[in-house]
Amino acid sequence: MTQAVATRPGRSAPSDVMRRLPEYLMIWAPLLLSAAHLVSFSLWTIWISFTPSTLVPVSGWVGLRNYTAVAASRNWQIAFDNLLLFGSAFVLLSAATGLILAILLDQRIRGENLLRSIFLYPLAVSFVVTGTVWSWLLNPGLGIQKLVHDLGWTSFKFDWLIDRDMAIWTIVIAAIWQSSGFAMALFLAGLRSVDADLIKAAQIDGAGPVRMYWRIILPTLWPITITVVVIQLQFAISAFDLVRALTNGGPGIATQLPALVVYDLMFQRSLLGRGAAAAVLMLLILLAVLLPYAAWRYVQRRRATHA
């Protein structure tokens, strides 16, 4: 009797696998194909970066010559400086904007569903559309400056789009408009998951709204904050279509970012090897953000498992 019972799970396992086979195929087949595509083309790009390829890929070995040429170029240096400025300003301001919007919506205000949809709407718009619309709004001859001048304030000046020193901030503004709703959604989910008993205890102790958020609620949101920062940094590092549509790297090369340098080298100058080297440098910057985050998530998962 014991032997018969012990064999039943073994007999049912193959049938369970066959029953769930379509589910496994629908989930794992696309994932494996995507992973194979990503890995194969990444390795191909790395190999090209060590060759003297120009218009078409060629064999050969030039060592780190393409990397040193890219790193020494003025375009890459400006692009890297702009990435530091754009990335830090965009991440901090979009996270702060999303947090403020989430706190306001967390007050259970009337029309919350409508406001949440409005704040999330920019996320559904492509970056090309966002860049094009903001290029119209910020154009001194078409947008906000012209509107204010037509209203009578002729001394008003808002020409950041053609100002070499301020043009990078137009990208920051457009990117915040596009992505702050995403940060708001994550922060709002975190605020709604805070233990109600913890809030009641703080209220009983006499904590006001500001102190309660600063000392109790916000510290519980730090895992979500890290997630928001990493995802926004990933966008900032790989930003291309928004910049291409809004400023096209101009005025001059004042708003160049690494992705535009890759595009310029590969498709405008036909320097395939140098473009691949710039792409690999972008990948290394991205890995410098993603790998610590993946390690942190792994440690958190291990702690939760052993808790």
Give the span between the Cα atoms of 175 and 170, in whole angstroms. Answer: 9
Model pLDDT for residues 44-70, shown as the tens digit of each residue: 999 999 999 998 889 889 999 999 999
Contact yes or no for 42/283 (Cβ under 8 A): yes
Identify residue 272 by its one-letter amino acid code. L
- Between 15 and 300, name the one with better pLDDT: 300
**Mean pLDDT (whole number) for 220-234:** 92
**Mean pLDDT (whole number) for 120-127:** 90
The pLDDT, as a whole number, for residue 12 is: 47
Instruction: Tell me how far the alpha carbon of residue 135 is from its chain's centroid.
Output: 21
Cβ atoms within 10 Å, residue 112? 14
- Between 15 and 154, name the one with better pLDDT: 154
Identify residue 77 by its one-letter amino acid code. Q
pLDDT band of residue 256 (cuts 50, 70, 90) is very high
Percent of the chain surpassing pLDDT 90: 62
- Closest alpha carbon to 183 in 121, 113, 232: 232
The pLDDT, as a whole number, for residue 237 is: 94
pLDDT score of 8 more than 70: no
The pLDDT, as a whole number, for residue 307 is: 67
- Average pLDDT, whole number, for the chain? 88
pLDDT band of residue 97 (cuts 50, 70, 90) is very high
The pLDDT, as a whole number, for residue 10 is: 46
Give the span between the Cα atoms of 234 and 239, in whole angstroms. Answer: 8
pLDDT score of 73 more than 70: yes
pLDDT score of 103 more than 80: yes
Cβ-Cβ contacts under 8 Å for 257 (sequence gap 6 or more): 79, 82, 83, 86, 239, 240, 243, 249
The pLDDT, as a whole number, for residue 17 is: 67
Contact yes or no for 261/278 (Cβ under 8 A): yes
Q: Is 243 exposed, middle or buried (0-12, 13-18, 19+ CB in 10 A)?
A: buried
Contact yes or no for 132/245 (Cβ under 8 A): yes
Model pLDDT for residues 265-288, shown as the tens digit of each residue: 999 999 999 999 999 999 999 999
pTM of the model: 0.86
Percent of the chain surpassing pLDDT 70: 94
- Between 173 and 211, name the one with better pLDDT: 173
Among positive and negative, which fits the CA dihedral 210, 215, 216, 221? positive
- Closest alpha carbon to 266 in 46, 69, 53, 38: 53
DSSP type of residue 266: I
Q: Is 144 left (phi over 0), alpha (psi -120 to 50) or beta?
A: alpha
**Mean pLDDT (whole number) for 243-247:** 94
pLDDT band of residue 1 (cuts 50, 70, 90) is very low
Two structure tokens written together for 217: 């609620």
